[in-house]
Structure 1
């Protein structure tokens, strides 16, 4: 190019670093003095126009001279592009056909399979829900039949008491079914079924309340002492007027009531055999003890103010304590029944754990923080009796003078009351007890009771 056009510097124009502003600036500086005012731009403009015209002419010459090779090259590139396009279109058509075949063979079948899967899952949930409803209704009918045997009011007979534990187990079965609402479990969705909601509110809940009331009634009416029916305080320990069969009936009723209260006590999801606390059972027994304590304290306070009634009152208190002794002996022999809602694992690992789950007496003693129920009875009453006696002495009058005058008789009567109350009812004696029926040494409790009365009298 440079040989055919020596006037144009093609090397500068074709350089990758060519800059039009820099080239124009160099032309202006080469034809003008930078200090001249104004600058002469006609010369560099003419140079640029000349270069442009020369380049245009050169391009036209080259194009005319090499027109045929250029056309042939263009045709070859166009043909190559056409061949590439045809090949690509063929591949695209093949890909589209493969996709349509895949859609027919996989996607459509997958959609059909997904519909079948959804339908099967819904049928499974419906079947599981139906089984849950069927089981709930079946347990509800079973519970109603059991409650016909238990009865809803009146004295609880032995046959009725025997039906309380099976009824309690049925209630626990329904409670577990209603509580098992997790995904995939039998009770899932039961809370949305109207017949189950009706069953729960109109059958299960009322029956559970009645069952609880009947069990509490048996515990509240527990009595094995025959002191009041055996002739009076002169008969140490009393001659029982209860037959062996009647005593066994009382034990049977109480045992079934205690086990029912144990089963109906609320549980937590994390409850196990070791950490479970039968709150309803403990509450019923504590209420029994508190009732005996309150009645005895009120009666003894009245009797100390009117001494002629003291012997009869102390006999009643001894009878209450004998009932507590008999209850303690019974609790020590009654084992907790199997609980369907308690975790079957985590077996007892220590002797204390085995003892805590072996009978009903241990959790009650632990709750009351005592080692003996009769000792708890006497010490609790003695703790409140001193203030009552002090009130009698503060009021003065005939009651206070009579009480102070007969304090030796009162002391002996109270000691005899504690000694008499510490004996098991004769019908409850086992071969391992002493012949007189006395359980343990109650000298300390007798001294505490005597001091609670004699202390205010000596002031």
Structure 2
């Protein structure tokens, strides 16, 4: 092989190949000079060849450098001079660049830093201003809530709904968490935290307690008054009418307040909202009427002389439930501040909530409250009558002997209780619902076990 005009037996192509492997080359030399089955192997021959190749390459390098020493030195000198010229030129450019950077720093960076300080100060002042306005608004609303709740405690039921709306505004303000919201970081202000703990939370509990108490005390039936006072009640009928209207007004305010203050979630909408405080208060009212009626009727069936008075009381409770249902059906859901941004127009009613009665009926899974009252009581009454009959004695014999009288008295009780109380009067006029079916269910729950 010839390289740069010199002949050489060295295979430069093999040594300069990109995939050259010293291990593979050494193995090849050993196999060329030895039989793989020989023991031991002769390694001196391949080693001598490698050493000879190294010496040949070294000699070749020395010859080339000797013959081309002057061109190499000249080339190296030229490269060094060129490097010095380039370095001098680059040095001048670097000095100019440094001067430009210093001028840029003076004219731009320093001014930018000053402007950035002004921007940060202005941004923080704006946040402080917004927070101050939020604190001011929260304090004003807190004072308003305190004043309104004081009025409620003094009997001003007209303040209940405004107080509830103000509490919802505070709840929305305190619940702001998104960056840029009006109430952002409001909870970290000590005066607001103190106001929330010492004024707002107690005021909300007071308002809820007064609303729930109003629902518990709801009563519009005058059956018991008519029974106890008779004709003496007529001169005071105008006062009774005023009391009835006051009861309706107070109850309306209480029901709307419970609707507004019912808990919500961030994902709650006007269509999915369930006024649980309202439903809980009304369900408790119905449960109290059921429990009292069931207990008193059980005692009256055991001691029959008390039956007429007990059935009159049960009729009065049912009349109150009838009046409550009529009142609920006449009250439209108030506009909820937290749902003002919903797709539903403000003040508009959804297809599932046309009145405050709708969510209660859905929760109880019933078509009417009087039907729920009679059927719930009848479902528990049969077992009570069976207990009386199983004990035997005078009570059981008296019940059997007065079976017809009991049937008529219960039908009259259901008929009387299914009448809507007359405002300002002493009795009922308009019947509501299919009272005959409810009367049949009640009669069967009491008279049915008597024949067994």
TM range (shorter): 0.7 to 0.9
- Note closer, same or farther for the CA distance 1:92–1:310 as it changes in structure 2 (3 Å cut): same
Residue number in structure 1 paired with 2:438: 445
- Note closer, same or farther for the CA distance 1:12–1:309 as it changes in structure 2 (3 Å cut): same
Matches within 5 A, 1:230-249: 230-231=226-227, 241=237, 243-249=240-246
Matches within 5 A, 1:232-311: 241=237, 243-311=240-308
Cα distance in 1, alignment partners of residues 206 and 260 from structure 2: 14
Q: Does 1:210 align with 2:212?
A: no
Cα distance in 2, alignment partners of residues 327 and 71 from structure 1: 115
User: Equivalent of 1:107, from 94, 106, 109?
Assistant: 109
Task: Count residues with an aligned counterpart.
Answer: 407
> Offset of 1:83 from its aligned partner?
3.5
Residue number in structure 1 paired with 2:22: none
Whether the 8 Å CA contact 2:242–2:424 is kept in 1: the answer is no
User: Equivalent of 1:367, from 354, 363, 366?
Assistant: 363
- Note closer, same or farther for the CA distance 1:234–1:439 as it changes in structure 2 (3 Å cut): farther
Cα distance in 1, alignment partners of residues 395 and 73 from structure 2: 144
Residue number in structure 1 paired with 2:404: 408
> Offset of 1:12 from its aligned partner?
4.3
Deviation track 1:185-227 (CA, whole Å, cap 9, x = no partner) reads: 1111122111111111111111111100100111000000000
Deviation track 1:352-392 (CA, whole Å, cap 9, x = no partner) reads: x7343221011000000000100000000011111111111
Whether the 8 Å CA contact 2:221–2:421 is kept in 1: the answer is yes
Q: Does 1:192 align with 2:188?
A: yes
Cα distance in 2, alignment partners of residues 76 and 274 from structure 1: 88
Residue number in structure 2 paired with 1:119: 121
Q: Does 1:11 align with 2:6?
A: yes
Whether the 8 Å CA contact 1:273–1:357 is kept in 2: the answer is no
> Offset of 1:144 from its aligned partner?
1.1
Residue number in structure 1 paired with 2:92: 90
Residue number in structure 2 paired with 1:326: 323
Gaps of at least 5 residues in structure 1 are: 1-8, 20-36, 430-434
Cα distance in 1, alignment partners of residues 83 and 397 from structure 2: 135
Cα distance in 1, alignment partners of residues 309 and 230 from structure 2: 11
> Offset of 1:271 from its aligned partner?
1.2
- Note closer, same or farther for the CA distance 1:199–1:77 as it changes in structure 2 (3 Å cut): closer
Whether the 8 Å CA contact 1:226–1:240 is kept in 2: the answer is no
Whether the 8 Å CA contact 2:216–2:281 is kept in 1: the answer is yes
TM-score (norm 1): 0.79
Deviation track 1:81-120 (CA, whole Å, cap 9, x = no partner) reads: 4433332222121122222222222222222222222222
Whether the 8 Å CA contact 2:270–2:350 is kept in 1: the answer is no
Cα distance in 2, alignment partners of residues 240 and 394 from structure 1: 48
- Matched residue of 2:167: which SS? helix
Whether the 8 Å CA contact 2:421–2:429 is kept in 1: the answer is no
Cα distance in 1, alignment partners of residues 380 and 236 from structure 2: 31
Deviation track 1:98-150 (CA, whole Å, cap 9, x = no partner) reads: 22222222222222222222222221221121111111111111111112211
- Note closer, same or farther for the CA distance 1:86–1:258 as it changes in structure 2 (3 Å cut): same
Cα distance in 1, alignment partners of residues 429 and 343 from structure 2: 43
- Matched residue of 1:231: which SS? helix
- Note closer, same or farther for the CA distance 1:71–1:450 as it changes in structure 2 (3 Å cut): closer
Residue number in structure 2 paired with 1:380: 376
Whether the 8 Å CA contact 1:180–1:188 is kept in 2: the answer is yes
Further displaced range: 71-80 or 329-338: 71-80
CA RMSD of aligned residues (A): 3.6
- Matched residue of 1:437: which SS? strand
Whether the 8 Å CA contact 1:272–1:346 is kept in 2: the answer is no
Cα distance in 1, alignment partners of residues 74 and 332 from structure 2: 109
Cα distance in 2, alignment partners of residues 191 and 59 from structure 1: 89
Residue number in structure 2 paired with 1:22: none
Gaps of at least 5 residues in structure 2 are: 16-43
Whether the 8 Å CA contact 2:160–2:207 is kept in 1: the answer is yes
